[in-house]
Amino acid sequence: MLIAIPDVLDPAAVTRLRALIDAAEWSDGNATSGPQSALAKRNRQLPEDSAAAREAGSLVLDALGNSPLFVAAALPLRVFPPLFNRYEGGDAFGLHVDNAIRIRRGSDFRIRSDLSATLFLSDADSYDGGELVIDGQFGEQRVKLPAGHMVLYPASSLHRVTPVTRGVRVASFFWIQSMVRDEGARRILFELDQSVQTLGHERGQADAEVIHLTGVYHNLLRRLAEM
Domain ranges of the chain: 3-178, 183-224
pLDDT tens track for 152-190: 999 999 999 999 999 999 999 999 999 999 999 999 999
What average pLDDT does the chain have?
A: 94
Q: Domain 3-178 has what CATH class?
A: mainly beta
Confidence of residue 105 (pLDDT cuts 50, 70, 90): confident
Domains 3-178 and 183-224 share a fold: no
CA atoms within 13 A on the CB side of 131: 8
Cα–Cα dist 26/85, whole Å: 8
The topology (CATH level 3) of 183-224 is: DNA Excision Repair, Uvrb; Chain A (4.10.860)
Please give the radius of gyration of the chain, using alpha carbons only, rounded to the nearest integer: 18
Strand-pairing partners, residue 159, are 96, 134
pLDDT tens track for 65-74: 999 999 999 9
Please determine, for residue 39, whether its predicted confidence score (pLDDT) is greater than 70: no
